[in-house]
Amino acid sequence: ITPNVSSEGPTGVPGTQKKKPTLPDPPRFDGNCRKFCTWHLEMRSKLQVDGTAIGSPADQFAYIYSCLDQTPQAMSAAYFEAGSNYGALNPWEFLKYLSNSYADPNIAQRALGRLEALR
């Protein structure tokens, strides 16, 4: 008996589809803007490494929403219900939406200011 190798995994090699997640689940994001950058990086890594284990893009979209605490869930509920732009259920667009809502747009400017102050 030969195994069914028709499914392609994340590397494009037949039969290498991940069945178990490798990374731990990110903590629930509580809406604290100072913690968003690290949460966002953890979530991106989780989707990149364990995306096939989580499931389809729609499953990944729902996974991101499940990793939000009550306040961020309430804030993004309309976006989640609509399924993002045009109902695409794209997890990367959902992360972009959350970045627009919670990321510090002046972080690069502040970092440059700190570097200048060190000199």
The letter for the amino acid at 23 is L
Q: How far apart are CA 2 and CA 69, in angstroms?
A: 45
pLDDT value for 6: 38
Looking at residue 4, what is its pLDDT? Answer: 38
**pTM for the model:** 0.74
Length of the chain: 119
What the block records as the tokens of 116 is 């200048």
Does 115 have pLDDT greater than 80?
yes
Residue carrying structure tokens 């992360």:
95
Distance CA(46)–CA(66), nearest Å, equals: 14
If you compute the radius of gyration of the chain from its CA atoms, what whole number of angstroms results? 18
- Give the per-residue pLDDT at 111: 77
When comparing pLDDT for 9 and 119, which is higher? 119
Q: Which two tokens stand for residue 33?
A: 């803007």
How much is the pLDDT for 16? Answer: 58
Q: Are 95 and 43 in contact (CB under 8 A)?
A: yes
> What does the pLDDT look like over 56-83, one tens digit per residue?
999 999 999 999 999 999 999 999 988 8
